[in-house]
Structure 1
Amino acid sequence: MSIAALNSLSNLLVTIAVGPGIVTHEYAHYAACKLTGVAVLGLPAMRPTADDAVLEHESVSAFGPDFAIAVAPFVANSLFALACFAAASAVIGPLGWLCLWLGVAFGFTSFPSDADTETLFATAAELPRTTRPVGYLLAAPVRAASWSVLLAGVLTFGWTSVLFAAGSGMT
């Protein structure tokens, strides 16, 4: 089996494992585009054997919409994960396990990807001189969390654990 085939198989397995989270991640970007007036060039595309799902939208040159689009999945998927973990602790049996799986799927896909945050510094640089430092302060942690695969993985696991603890009443 070739490396490309193994990569596609790996991507398919990840998509199956966290698919609901991937869908809500992309639709959170979609909703943020709509709310900020950024034109969307189609619905989010799930590509089960590819490295990522995509939502194509017009180029964003303003920091506010760029930041909102980048962090929308973090907000939406975190809330969904929290709700699913709370539901999982309230019910037993197969429904509880389903809620637990969905909570993990939403939590694991809450952080923006590297592609989601790649323009944040460029749009922050376009802010007026007086607000530019605030733009950089907001962009830096978001970009840092998505730039390194290792850091993103650690943060994702930790954040999902926090959501689990909060949702299940362990805090």
Structure 2
Amino acid sequence: MSLIGWVLTIVTAPGVVVHEYTHAKLCEWADVPIVEICYFQLGDPPGYVLHAEPESYRTTYLIGVAPFLVNTLVAAALFATIPLLAGGAGGISDTGIAGWIVLWLGVSVAAHAFPSTGDAQSIWQQTKQQYRSSPLALIGLPIVLIIYLAHVLSFFWFDFIYALALYVGVAMVLPGLIL
């Protein structure tokens, strides 16, 4: 891992933890046994949840993509609290250190929203096995392609561009949210 990768992994650790926690919770809710959990590490991958193979395609799919939904919602909620820290109006500059911490947490969580290539591989394996018996499996292929495309685009900082776009989207809904 390069020095920049190492620093980014440390700085965005909260996003990794939320991502892996979501995988683990989905496994728990779906009664899928967890073999091993690493919520954060300095390495590649920065976190993981190893679990048994789910019984249904739907469960595999949900375990794989749930962090995208949860991380996005958590980050948006964090961004939405920034105006509250400024007394209901104003931006980051009016919030003091608390606003900057909330902004960092929101960016960190949003930057780790996209499923990993390991998540894509799990969905792909189940898609190949169950596309004839489960109509839901037909959506697996485009989702896997989108995950791999996001992974390739991460070389161009796509995950952070997504975090910025989410912040801007929340700011458009909450006019008091500005820098």
1:37 offset after TM fit, Å? 1.3
1:38 offset after TM fit, Å? 0.7
1:111 aligns with 2:114: yes
Distance in 2 (CA, whole Å) between partners of 1:30 and 1:119 is: 15
Percent identical residues: 26
Mapping of residues 55-70 of structure 1, within 5 Å: 55-60=49-54, 62-70=56-64
| Letter of the structure 2 residue corresponding to residue 41 of structure 1 | V
Distance in 2 (CA, whole Å) between partners of 1:104 and 1:35 is: 27
Distance in 1 (CA, whole Å) between partners of 2:158 and 2:9 is: 20
**How large is the Cα RMSD of the aligned pairs?**
2.4
1:151 — aligned with what? 153
Task: Give 3-state SS (helix, strand or coil) of 1:126's partner.
Answer: helix
Question: TM-score, normalised on structure 1?
Answer: 0.81
Distance in 1 (CA, whole Å) between partners of 2:128 and 2:56 is: 10
1:1-33 per-residue CA deviation (whole Å, 9 max, x = no partner) reads xxxxxx254443122111000000000000111
- Does the CA contact (< 8 Å) of 2:76 and 2:106 recur in 1? yes
1:81 aligns with 2:75: yes
1:4 — aligned with what? none
Task: Give 3-state SS (helix, strand or coil) of 1:52's partner.
Answer: coil
The change in CA–CA distance for 1:65 and 1:23 in structure 2 (over 3 A counts) is same
Question: TM-score, normalised on structure 2?
Answer: 0.78
Unaligned runs of 5+ in 1: 1-6
1:32-65 per-residue CA deviation (whole Å, 9 max, x = no partner) reads 1111111012333422133431212113353111
Task: Give 3-state SS (helix, strand or coil) of 1:46's partner.
Answer: coil
- Does the CA contact (< 8 Å) of 1:11 and 1:48 recur in 2? no
| Letter of the structure 1 residue corresponding to residue 107 of structure 2 | V
Mapping of residues 91-110 of structure 1, within 5 Å: 91=85, 92-110=95-113
- Does the CA contact (< 8 Å) of 1:86 and 1:169 recur in 2? no
Higher strand fraction (1 or 2): 2
Task: Work out the number of aligned pairs and report it.
Answer: 163
Task: Give 3-state SS (helix, strand or coil) of 2:53's partner.
Answer: coil
